[in-house]
Amino acid sequence: MEDKNYQNQVWPGKPYPLGANWDGEGVNFALFSENATKVVLCLYDSKDEKENAQIQLTEHTDQVWHVYIPGIRPGQLYGYRVFGPWDPENGMVFNENNLLLDPYAKAINGSIDWSDAMFGYPVQNPDEDRNLLKTTSDSASGMNKSIVIDNSFDWEGDKLPNTPLHKSIIYELHVKGFTASHPTIDPSIRGTYKALAHPEVIGYLKKLGVTAVELLPVHQFVNDRHLVENGLSNYWGYNSIGFFAPHFAYSSAGSAGEQVVEFKEMVKALHKEGLEVILDVVYNHTAEGNHYGPTLSFKGIDNEAYYRLVPDNKRYYMDYTGTGNTLNMLHPRSLQLVMDSLRYWITEMHVDGFRFDLASTLARGLHEVGKLSTFLDTIHQDPIISQVKLIAEPWDVGEGGYQVGNFPVLWAEWNGKYRDSVRRFWKGDESQVHELAYRLSGSSDLYMLNGRQPSASINFITAHDGFTLNDLVSYNEKHNEANKEGNNDGESNNESWNCGVEGPSDDPEINAIREQQKRNFMATLLLSQGVPMISMGDEYGRTQHGNNNVYCQDNEISWFNWDWEDKHKEFFDFTRSLIAFTHDKPVFHRRRFFQGRHIYGQDVKDIRWIRTDGKDMTDEEWNSSYVRTLGMLLNGKEMDEVDEKGNPVKGDVYFIMVSAYWEAIEYKLLKYGSDVEWEIILDTANPSGSFKGKSVKKNTYSVKPRSLVMLRQKED
């Protein structure tokens, strides 16, 4: 084996910072392992070739193995072989035959060429205790490699948009899926960071009017072996293996380390147009699965330090995530890994915030989810991480994991109760108006008592996980056969209504109801207090043909379809116009809850809840099961807020009527004076007249079946 005499040139190096760090003259390698007995650094010229050097790390400081090698430059491929005890029942699964990725690698090349060698035990052994046995197969030839990078980059004075959260409109998208079929972008860059930075793509986002993109996972992730063997892939990317590395497959360059540059170029381009970048991050688990999973990085470096193990038998993993393992946030080095990763993406990659997948898992103590967990406390005291947008998915699959409304100050949350309430109301369920009122007004019942504001509520009707908006009104049942799991995957309770026919229909009446329901959902979302999040393609009516779990569908089922029909353009124009209308109307983007009190009562002036006869709702109506209509008066003239410069904020008076009845409802209009008139801003039953301000001549308004109406008080 040629070793290029590296062993004769190595210096002791330093234990910090962790990872591979180039200083212009050489590289310092540092790897944490508490229980290893020996660590060997392996260097490669290409992904598939045998290593050209093996360098034993003899320096060991504060449980970190380290070495400095002069002359190594960016682009160098490397991996580790870590030696130690093989004792699975006590959590030790060291196997020097597994080449391991650096947990702090800033870039990782290619994908895994799956074979039995990627596992630390003999996979083909039929014994159910086969993972107690150690394999001697070498995984290096098929394993992807870590990459030394040059972190320098000309940001050209990049300025973060710093859009206030209460003024934000978030657009959740998939880096590849959004541009994979874009007709005018060069095919060689479609589906990449470079494509997302393309002027046409950014122009589309600007035209739509959103303020931030929330990217599905871009940390280096793994396509599971069983998916690859079934001709599928881990499309969503919730299978992380590199918390510092932008996913290699989203780079158009194909050369080592270029994905880092392309990602930065993308962020810079989006920032120039005032668009923020929020990352969906998966720190709750890794791609190494359960005790039968592969050994790719953490498991082989220090299994007990990085993962939550079952105390009575450390062969097994605590699984609060449904993926086989849970990252051990109780260990200081695992906690450090996550915090270092977050700081890196903020300081070096200039991202504006994070959405934490299954955040309840990260906040767990020994078992329970706790507001005062080490994870949450560490973030709150960090001067860098605490200053960006922090969004929790406030649940996991473990007992007590559903924590909507329970995260502390500084945190916003995906409001699953908002999604469910709005879906049930427009589906026509009984007993919904009481909860709907809270959701429309910012969910004060969830967020006000612990000191948070309406912006703590990230409102959404749909997300990547579940039906698209079009499918929500087109299917009663999931249709996931393409996933090759017998239609047993995905959520069965979708709170959806197909409007009378399952799937596509040629019936004009059915299609008209569906389009109206889509307008109802989008209008409800954009007129509610809190922060709206739109799922990629919902603004035109993207369909997944009834598949509500497209995690493995990297194809046209999941991709954004840029070939629109006329009906798609009509709904896009509706969505765009509604976003534009609400953009500069502070009454729809309040910083505070209404008068800081409960949302109804005689002393509340800035919001009122109105019956069809023009009087205030009573307890009888609030608690009635049959009431399916609700009037909401927003009095912008009574707002008690100031803008960022301390100037008083006032607005117009709006009357919003929502009705899920199957027949028309006559609403009596309020009068604040003899000369007061109302003008029609929006009627989802008649979208062609929206936003034109047509006057209402009568003192009543007929709200059509299953529709939303918004009126504005005209000035004297």
Which amino acid is located at 511 in the chain?
N
Counted domains in the chain = 1
* CA–CA distance, 182 with 200 (Å, rounded to integer): 10
What is the pLDDT averaged over residues 19-26?
Answer: 97
Across 305-314, 517-526, 612-621, 701-710, least confident range: 612-621
Does some domain include residue 407? no
Contact 170/533 with Cβ under 8 angstroms?
yes
Residues catalogued as catalytic? 357, 393
**Confidence at residue 1, expressed as pLDDT on a 0 to 100 scale:** 36
* CA–CA distance, 716 with 701 (Å, rounded to integer): 20
**Confidence at residue 670, expressed as pLDDT on a 0 to 100 scale:** 81
Which amino acid is located at 659 in the chain?
S
**DSSP structure string for 163-204:** --GGG--EEEE-HHHHHTT-TTS-TTTTTSHHHHTSHHHHHH
Give the three-class secondary structure for 523: helix
Checking if the pLDDT of 148 tops 50, the result is yes
Q: pLDDT tens across 361-380, in order?
A: 898 865 566 554 789 999 99
Q: Which residue has the tokens 């009509």?
A: 570
Give Rg (Cα) of the chain.
27
Q: pLDDT tens across 400-417, in order?
A: 888 998 999 999 999 999
**Confidence at residue 599, expressed as pLDDT on a 0 to 100 scale:** 46
**Confidence at residue 35, expressed as pLDDT on a 0 to 100 scale:** 97
Does some domain include residue 648? yes
Which of the two residues, 7 and 122, has the higher pLDDT score?
A: 122
Does some domain include residue 74? no
Which amino acid is located at 463 in the chain?
A
**Which one-letter DSSP state was computed for residue 657?**
E
Across 30-34, 208-212, 568-572, least confident range: 568-572
**Confidence at residue 674, expressed as pLDDT on a 0 to 100 scale:** 58
**Confidence at residue 255, expressed as pLDDT on a 0 to 100 scale:** 73
Does some domain include residue 680? yes
Q: Is the peptide bond before 504 cis (omega within 30 degrees of 0)?
A: no
Give the three-class secondary structure for 486: coil
Phi, psi dihedrals of residue 671, rounded to the nearest 5°: -125, 125
CA neighbor of 330 nearest in space, from 306, 354, 346, 301: 306
Q: Which pLDDT band holds residue 197 (cuts at 50, 70, 90)?
A: very high
What is the pLDDT averaged over residues 167-176?
Answer: 98
Checking if the pLDDT of 589 tops 70, the result is yes
What is the pLDDT averaged over residues 634-653?
Answer: 86
- How many Cα atoms sit within 13 Å of 665 on the Cβ side? 23
Does some domain include residue 633? yes
* CA–CA distance, 669 with 583 (Å, rounded to integer): 26
Q: pLDDT tens across 438-468, in order?
A: 999 999 999 998 889 999 999 999 999 999 9
Q: How long is the chain? A: 716
Q: Which pLDDT band holds residue 77 (cuts at 50, 70, 90)?
A: very high
Which amino acid is located at 142 in the chain?
G
Checking if the pLDDT of 600 tops 70, the result is no
* CA–CA distance, 174 with 236 (Å, rounded to integer): 8
Contact 322/395 with Cβ under 8 angstroms?
no
Burial of 8 by CB count in 10 Å (0-12 exposed, 13-18 middle, 19+ buried)?
exposed
Spell out the residues 6+ positions from residue 203 whose beta carbon is closer than 8 angstroms to its own. none
Q: Write out the residue range of the structural domain in which residue 634 sits.
A: 595-713
Does some domain include residue 210? no
**Confidence at residue 108, expressed as pLDDT on a 0 to 100 scale:** 97
Mean pLDDT in the chain? Answer: 93
- Per cent of the chain over pLDDT 70 is 95
**Confidence at residue 5, expressed as pLDDT on a 0 to 100 scale:** 65
Does some domain include residue 606? yes
Burial of 479 by CB count in 10 Å (0-12 exposed, 13-18 middle, 19+ buried)?
middle
Strand segments, DSSP code E, in 74-127 are 77-83, 86-87, 92-93
Which amino acid is located at 574 in the chain?
F
**Confidence at residue 601, expressed as pLDDT on a 0 to 100 scale:** 47
Does some domain include residue 626? yes
Q: Which pLDDT band holds residue 2 (cuts at 50, 70, 90)?
A: very low
Strand segments, DSSP code E, in 525-661 are 531-535, 607-610, 629-635, 641-642, 648-649, 653-659
* CA–CA distance, 91 with 302 (Å, rounded to integer): 9
Spell out the residues 6+ positions from residue 618 whose beta carbon is closer than 8 angstroms to its own. 611
**Which one-letter DSSP state was computed for residue 138?**
-
CATH, residue 662:
2.60.40.1180
- How many Cα atoms sit within 13 Å of 384 on the Cβ side? 12
CA neighbor of 692 nearest in space, from 681, 701, 683: 681
Q: pLDDT tens across 227-279, in order?
A: 999 999 999 999 999 999 999 999 998 777 899 999 999 999 999 999 999 99
Spell out the residues 6+ positions from residue 137 whose beta carbon is closer than 8 angstroms to its own. 97, 115, 116, 117
CA neighbor of 351 nearest in space, from 266, 238, 462, 457: 266
* Tokens read off for 376: 């949450």
Burial of 206 by CB count in 10 Å (0-12 exposed, 13-18 middle, 19+ buried)?
middle
> Which of 44-48, 634-638, 658-662: highest mean pLDDT?
658-662
* CA–CA distance, 510 with 520 (Å, rounded to integer): 15
Strand segments, DSSP code E, in 288-426 are 353-356, 389-392, 411-414
* CA–CA distance, 606 with 604 (Å, rounded to integer): 6
* CA–CA distance, 363 with 402 (Å, rounded to integer): 12
Spell out the residues 6+ positions from residue 157 whose beta carbon is closer than 8 angstroms to its own. none
